[in-house]
């Protein structure tokens, strides 16, 4: 275990969803709880058995562990390490307790991270050491949203050169998916969102077309199929809505269309036409974009520093911690892509 001051944290839709929609799209977790899971900071101290980190290291805490030893970590097929998984999902560390308390009462750590706090403690299997010249108020976004969307296209979808793609939802995850399709050299990238204010930003990231479902009477999947002469090669769902998941799946071309679900929901069920699946489509999910967290996040930081990956363009607001509620309001209103909260200026 190690402790570190959190320098900057992004405000993610999953935080908002847990705050306001527990029981709908999110499973219940114990209260009281400190939210936040997309962050970057500096190691302040380490436990006696921690060998890979030293005070002063720049790091990104991770809600997905990587022990490097289990069957899943050793397999190239998945990034789903389960080290301390059950406890961290329940808001505690390996010993069954959290490291945050208030007036003698235990306060739980959201996804084992709790970055809406100036200090936190996480296991050494759930933190990535990054280069010392990385700007923490930018690379914090690699702790969740950008990595998830970018990896959905690159790792899960394996988008190919000259292919056609549709990205459903143009928040941070969706824009990162658009960026992934662009990096993969897709020929056509269609952004789909009911908020047309996001279209200009989507085009900056590489979208060739932008569609608002509210501009059409037909279901959006029929619009996409018509516009592409039979459907897209790849569809990426970045909202977390079963209805949109189904629309994304049905927007793909038969024989080889692939639909990747990156939008988060823990409780809801989607239904699909079995015939459309039998006609050669692939439906798959991704968690954290398929990246092996501790191992791959430093490489993503390098890509950003080498100008191969955008991060600055996702950030629409910067606020101190005392204005965290404004960050949630901006997120819900659709007026921001990512608000970065500074923890040490508050």
pLDDT digits (tens, 9 = 90+) for 108-164: 999 999 999 999 999 999 999 999 999 999 999 999 999 999 999 999 999 999 999
Q: Are 344 and 7 in contact (CB under 8 A)?
A: yes
Of the listed ranges 3-12, 150-159, 260-269, the one predicted with least confidence: 3-12
Torsion 239-283-177-297 (CA) sign: positive
User: What pLDDT, on the 0 to 100 scale, is given for residue 4?
Assistant: 59
Q: Is position 150 within any domain?
A: no
Q: What does the longest C-alpha to C-alpha distance in the chain come to?
A: 63
Span 209-222, average pLDDT: 98
Span 36-40, average pLDDT? 95
156 pairs with which residues across the strands?
Answer: none
For residues 141 and 177, state if they share a domain.
no
At 116, give phi and psi (nearest 5°). Answer: -85, 45
What's the domain range around 70? 4-145+290-342
Q: What is the mean pLDDT of the chain?
A: 93
Q: What is the pLDDT of residue 30?
A: 83
Asked if residue 273 and residue 171 are part of one domain, the reply reads: yes
pTM: 0.95
Q: How much of the chain, in percent, has pLDDT values that exceed 70?
A: 97
Please check the confidence at residue 45 and state whether its pLDDT lies above 80. yes
- Cα 91 to Cα 328: distance, rounded to the nearest angstrom: 21
User: How many folded domains does the chain comprise?
Assistant: 2
In the listed set 267, 285, 303, which residue is the last one of a domain according to the structure? 285
In terms of domains, do 245 and 161 share one?
Answer: yes
pLDDT tens-digit profile of 189-206? 999 999 999 999 999 999
Residues 185 and 261 in one domain: yes
The reply to whether 33 falls in a domain is yes
């Amino acid at each position: 275990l190690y402790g570190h001051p959190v320098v900057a944290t992004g405000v993610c839709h999953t935080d908002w969803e847990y705050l306001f929609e527990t029981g709908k799209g999110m499973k219940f977790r114990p209260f009281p709880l400190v939210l936040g899971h997309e962050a970057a900071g500096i190691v302040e101290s380490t436990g006696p058995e921690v060998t890979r980190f030293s005070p002063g290291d720049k790091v990104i805490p991770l809600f997905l562990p990587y022990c490097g030893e289990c069957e899943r970590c050793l397999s190239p097929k998945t990034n789903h390490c389960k080290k301390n998984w059950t406890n961290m999902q329940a808001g505690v560390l390996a010993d069954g307790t959290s490291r945050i308390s208030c007036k003698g009462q235990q306060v739980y750590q959201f996804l084992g991270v709790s970055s809406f706090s100036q200090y936190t403690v996480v296991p050494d299997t759930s933190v990535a050491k990054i280069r010392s010249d990385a700007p923490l108020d930018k690379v914090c976004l690699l702790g969740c949203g950008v990595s998830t969307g970018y990896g959905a296209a690159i790792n899960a979808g394996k988008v190919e050169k000259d292919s056609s793609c549709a990205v459903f939802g143009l928040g941070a995850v969706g824009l990162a998916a658009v960026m992934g399709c662009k990096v993969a050299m897709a020929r056509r990238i269609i952004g789909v969102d009911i908020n047309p204010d996001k279209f200009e930003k989507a085009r900056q990231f590489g979208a060739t077309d932008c569609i608002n479902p509210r501009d059409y009477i037909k279901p959006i999947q029929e619009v996409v199929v018509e516009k592409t002469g039979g459907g897209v090669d790849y569809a990426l769902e970045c909202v977390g809505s079963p209805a949109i998941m189904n629309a994304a799946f049905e927007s793909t071309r038969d024989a080889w269309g692939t639909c990747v679900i990156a939008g988060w929901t823990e409780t809801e069920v989607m239904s699909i036409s079995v015939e459309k699946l039998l006609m050669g489509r692939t439906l798959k999910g991704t968690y954290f974009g398929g990246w092996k967290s501790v191992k791959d996040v430093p490489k993503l930081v390098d890509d950003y520093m080498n100008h191969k990956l955008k991060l600055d363009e996702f950030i629409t607001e910067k606020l101190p911690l005392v204005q965290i509620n404004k960050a949630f309001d901006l997120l819900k209103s659709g007026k921001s892509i990512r608000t970065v909260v500074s923890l040490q200026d508050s």
